[in-house]
Amino acid sequence: QLKLVESGGGVVQPGTSLRLSCAASGFSFGSFGIHWIRQAPGKGLEWVAVISDDGKIQYYADFVKGRFTLSRDNSKNTVHLQLASLRGDDTALYFCAKSRGYSYGSVFDHWGQGTLVIVSS
Amino acid sequence: DIQMTQSPASLSASIGDRVIITCQASQDIKFYLNWYQQKPGKAPTLLIYDASKLEAGVPSTFSGSGSGTHFTLTIASLRPEDIATYYCQQYENLFTFGQGTTLDLK
């Protein structure tokens, strides 16, 4: 059964860093791109970043502005999203999603349940 | 950046009603549009991809249409389990979601 499990969220102070992880199982992990999408409390979905199936391509939303970094380890079926210089408006539930399609894909066909990041002093 | 505008922002309907949600793109996105459903406290699920293709396992009461800048999601006959928030998402230039349409029972 295909599964995505996010971890690493928590309460952190502004300006600090956090590393989120997405552990996958039940599919050929190295053949699919992985996206991160976030949802602030009571708000809509916001695309954050994507890493391609081979890890060679990453794209980020404009609001990231060099603060977030994606990596993946296909031998461990895991993607990491390193968050740095965190701000209050980064507070959100962070989902990872498997995408369908060539390289980094375009259709988010399976989602994890999310990990909550709260940035507060 | 491509902006996606959904309307209405919220909608009340009765069981059995036909429901239409629209999504407008700020520029031509061809057919590069997907629709998702999100229920409270849950992750989104894929309903429609490539503007009009029904995802496997999704009831045939859901359908999508459109191309270019104007798209619609139609629920042919509303069921109680369809109460949720719906999002469109473009992938012509990176990825952008609409702001969502919340559907509840009248």
SS (H, E, C) chain B: CCCEEEECCEEEECCCCCEEEEEEECCCCCCCEEEEEECCCCCCEEEEECCCEECCCCCCCEEEEEECCEEEEEECCCCHHHCEEEEEEECCCCCEECCCEEEEEC
Is the CB of A47 less than 8 angstroms away from the CB of B94? yes
Is the CB of B99 less than 8 angstroms away from the CB of A44? yes
Q: What is the CA radius of gyration of chain B?
A: 13
pLDDT for B41 beyond 90: yes
| Predicted pLDDT at A57 | 95
- Of the candidates B43, B50, B96, the beta carbon closest to that of A113 is on B43
Q: Which residues does chain A have within 8 Å of residue B54's beta carbon, measured at their own beta carbons? A: none
| Predicted pLDDT at A11 | 98
Round to whole Å and give the CA distance between A4 and A19.
Answer: 16
| Predicted pLDDT at A103 | 84
3-state secondary structure of A32: coil
Round to whole Å and give the CA distance between A36 and B80.
Answer: 30
| Predicted pLDDT at A65 | 85
| Predicted pLDDT at A101 | 82
Give me the mean pLDDT over the B90-98 stretch: 97
Q: Are B18 and B73 in contact (CB under 8 A)?
A: no
Q: Which residues does chain A have within 8 Å of residue B100's beta carbon, measured at their own beta carbons? A: 44-45
Taking 70 as the pLDDT cut, the residues of chain A under it are none
pLDDT for B52 beyond 90: yes
Is the CB of A108 less than 8 angstroms away from the CB of B36? yes
Nearest CA in chain A to B88: A45
Is the CB of A44 less than 8 angstroms away from the CB of B44? no
